[in-house]
Amino acid sequence: MDYTNLQLEENENILIVTINREKALNALNARTMQELMYLFSNDIPERSLKGVVLTGAGPKSFVAGADITEFMSMADGGGQEMAQRGHDVFFAIERSKVPVVAAVNGFALGGGCELAMSCHLRIAGEHARFGQPEVNLGIIPGYGGTQRLIQYIGKGKAMELMLTADMISASEAWQLGLVNKVVASGTEVEEATAIIQKIGAKGPIAIAKTIEAVNAYFEEGKNGFQTEVEAFGETTRTQDFKEGASAFVEKRKANFSGK
């Protein structure tokens, strides 16, 4: 696929993905969602990556929501199909076998907040703002917000933010557990890259299986504990486990091969 709304830059096996619609505050239109789906379903699995950093173009916005101009057509139907497509895209991100870190460099509202929550970790610039303001438009969050926000900050506070449409600051998002770290504005991608570099030194199979097991806790029809048992068993049969255990005993740095 030719990417028009996504800018990709790979460096030392880390893929930096920038949603490049700065004039529209990087709003998620249909083309952007299509490109994200292809990227995480087809492109990224074919690459040998330590991880992915996802950010927005410009200093103002990570993603300021879905594209409102496209919303207008939903009055005549199609809203359910649009929401389902959004769920499919964000599940593809959440289930990525390599870590995906959101570098939130500004507004993360509506679909932008939902996009950030589908990533495995979130690094926020000090001027970032988060919120689910959909009720201001007479609709509800449609890309997983009613479910993931509860997982991160609990039912009471999530209900308050979704019913009032209030925005919260980066520092409050950190206090609530929505973001992992708050950094100086302009350093979000750098900090996200550093975290992936740290994760990338670990066993890649173990990283993928950890993501799978944690996700299983929240997935309907899955037993997270059983997923953990099976994943643990699978990792103990890998060359990475033998290398990691040997390196520990020999007091040296492990050289993982991903096998």
Which residues are annotated as catalytic? 114, 134
Angle made by CA atoms 34, 159, 155, in degrees to the nearest 5: 95
Rounded Cα gap, residues 134 and 40, in angstroms? 26
Which stretch of DSSP H or E encloses residue 235? helix 224-235
Q: How far is CA 157 from CA 76, 128, 134, 179, 182, in A?
A: 33, 19, 16, 15, 20
Of residues 127, 119, 255, 253, the one with CA closest to residue 192: 119
Q: At 150, is the secondary structure helix, strand, or coil? A: helix
On the CB side of 47, CA atoms within 13 Å amount to 21
